[in-house]
Amino acid sequence: MTRIAVTLATVVLAVSSVPVRALKAEETPRGITTNRPNILIILADDLGYGDVQCYNPQRGKIPTPNLDRLAREGMRFTDAHSSSGVCSPSRYALLTGRYHWRTRLQQGIVGVWAAPLIAPDRLTVASLAKEHGYRTACIGKWHLGRDWPITAQQRKYFTGFGGRAGGGGRVATTATEEHRAVWRAVFSQPIPGGPTTRGFDEYFGTDVPNWPPYCFIENDRTVGIPSELLSAEKLKTNQASLQGPALAGWQLEPILPTLADRAAAFIRQQAKERQPFLLYLPLTAPHTPLAATEPWLGKSGLNLYADFVMETDAMVGRVLEALRESGVAENTIVLFTSDNGCAPYIGAAELESKGHFPSGPLRGYKGDVFEGGHRIPFLVRWPGVVKPGTLCGQLVHQADVIATVAEILRAELPDNAGEDSCSLLPLLQGGDKPIREHAVSCASSGVPGLRRGPWKLILARDPRAKTEVQLYHLDDDISETTNRAAEKPQIVAEMRALMEKLITEGRSTPGARQKNDMKVRRYPVAESTKKKAVSKREKK
């Protein structure tokens, strides 16, 4: 398959110094013209595989008419995966085409007030598009870290407020003048290391909607100066998670509609200017805060999360309508997906009791290495290229975005970019041959799940079967009910060797060997290692 290039253009995020080679005329992919398509990437947050009606017609009770229409007008992938069962690592892989576990983030997410995860010289889909004359924008949730201008001495004014209300610890209810003075000094400065330093011409959004700072950020500055602690009242279950600096009167409900309005405005502006654009729209929903607006409260008849899914679908519809009204829908690739599976704590058990299964037939939820953690909705509409109403069962991964964009732009990715990215273009053009032989998706704990064809190897012990690892045949057992590791030792050995090769080669696609950012942890973790780690924690 063709590997593809990047440097400074528009698709999703960073600035790169990597040189890019343009393809010769005879290398132009079939069906691609000189009329460069706009690119819209919509990333929902915590939307389960079974939360989209067209993915779960028998056991899905939440209406999603706009997403269903997108599927009818394009291609629906049924075996698509994120890099992790949680968000920051999946966002990294989508934007860079590289597995997150090659970085420092081998488990968990980027923490509050943490440094950037994407290296300054790392090629992103945004910097690739920008180099090819696109206007690039990121509107929404970032959650990949920034170089927050907070000194070691100032840090105590940004943490330690007690976390979740009722969750133990001290919950402050007011900010002191000392707090306000430090916040004013910090938030009056530019905030480096964000989207506009990783390939995006412009940014607007909330860094993490349930974490401080509780305000919008535009480009590299806060919109207003946070001067109050977020009210403890807003730390209720499934609303904000951490108390911290907020704008006076900050409300959670307007966040999602504001992002949709800004996205629509960007589309209209670019249509006027007749410049191709790449818009990365990482929505804040239906992740917490479950802050559905008044018209949607109770609309689903299920629970608040289901109401918020319906509002999320409506906001996607608003953005798609902006494409149509601006006259650019026919020349815009729309890719819709989710960063991971549905979070179980939003009332998943209640939803299941009412006949709605957020993971559909899949085992597990957000955070899991099982399919419900990382098999996600993945829809692509591209008028004139993608045949409407098509279904694709081939294995694909969100890391494949950058190679796809590169091939569309007739660029060849250098060896040190998109190391785990394969172009989706052959599938989008109607082909049905595999574009990748394997893929890796991890639990939030870091435990990897390796796919090779229909087989999936989970590098974690199965206490019930008493096997060191787990092996499932997904063609026959999509719900991962039967661990076949004991009966298939040869497949287990081959796949463990494959995983080791993917780590040591620093890439999973053809090309020169690359270095991982740091030593990659191996799994399964030996019991002796676990005991040492527990002992070490107990001594602290």
User: What is the chain's length?
Assistant: 540
CA–CA dist 306, 209 (Å, integer): 19
Three-state SS at 43: strand
Q: Is residue 374 assigned to a domain?
A: no
pLDDT class of 481 with cuts at 50, 70, 90: very high
pLDDT at 257 over 80: yes
Instruction: Specify the number of domains making up the chain.
Output: 1
Catalytic member of 54, 87, 342, 392? 87
394 residue type, one letter: Q
pLDDT class of 13 with cuts at 50, 70, 90: very low
Q: Is residue 246 assigned to a domain?
A: no
pLDDT digits (tens, 9 = 90+) for 16-62: 334 444 444 444 444 444 479 999 999 999 999 999 999 999 999 99
Which token pair is 307? 């109401």
Q: Is residue 489 assigned to a domain?
A: yes
177 residue type, one letter: E
Give 333's contacts (C-beta < 8 A, 6+ positions apart).
37, 38, 39, 40, 380, 381, 382, 408
Q: Is residue 188 assigned to a domain?
A: no
pLDDT at 174: 78
Give the residue carrying structure tokens 């559909």. Answer: 360
- Residue 442 bears catalytic tag: no
Three-state SS at 498: helix
Q: For 301-330, what is the mean pLDDT? A: 98
Going by their DSSP bridges, the two strands 245-246 and 277-282 should be labelled as: unpaired
CA–CA dist 343, 418 (Å, integer): 29
Can you give the CATH number for the domain in which 520 is found? 3.30.1120.10
pLDDT digits (tens, 9 = 90+) for 357-383: 999 999 999 999 999 999 999 999 999
- Residue 422 bears catalytic tag: no
Residue 116 is given by DSSP the state P
pLDDT digits (tens, 9 = 90+) for 102-126: 999 999 999 999 999 999 999 999 9
CA–CA dist 376, 370 (Å, integer): 12
Q: Is residue 421 assigned to a domain?
A: no
The more confidently predicted of residues 230 and 532 is 230
CA–CA dist 323, 360 (Å, integer): 31
Q: Is residue 502 assigned to a domain?
A: yes
pLDDT at 526: 74
Catalytic member of 81, 100, 132, 143? 143
pLDDT digits (tens, 9 = 90+) for 150-207: 999 999 999 988 655 444 444 556 789 999 999 999 999 999 999 999 999 999 999 9
Give the residue carrying structure tokens 């394969």. Answer: 422
The more confidently predicted of residues 526 and 498 is 498
pLDDT class of 8 with cuts at 50, 70, 90: very low
Q: Is residue 335 assigned to a domain?
A: no
Nearest to 136 by CA among 316, 259, 266: 266
CA–CA dist 186, 190 (Å, integer): 8
CA–CA dist 536, 540 (Å, integer): 7
Give the residue carrying structure tokens 């085992």. Answer: 363
Please name every residue paired with 217 in a beta bridge, in sequence order, or none if there are none: 205, 222
pLDDT at 300 over 50: yes
pLDDT class of 240 with cuts at 50, 70, 90: very high
Q: Is 361 exposed, middle or buried (0-12, 13-18, 19+ CB in 10 A)?
A: middle
| Cis preceding linkage at 524, omega within 30 | yes
Q: For 422-451, what is the mean pLDDT? A: 98
Which run of H or E residues covers position 263? helix 255-273
Q: What is the mean pLDDT of the chain?
A: 91
Give the range of the structural domain holding residue 467, as residue numbers without chain letter: 440-539
Q: Is residue 395 assigned to a domain?
A: no
pTM: 0.92
pLDDT at 14 over 80: no
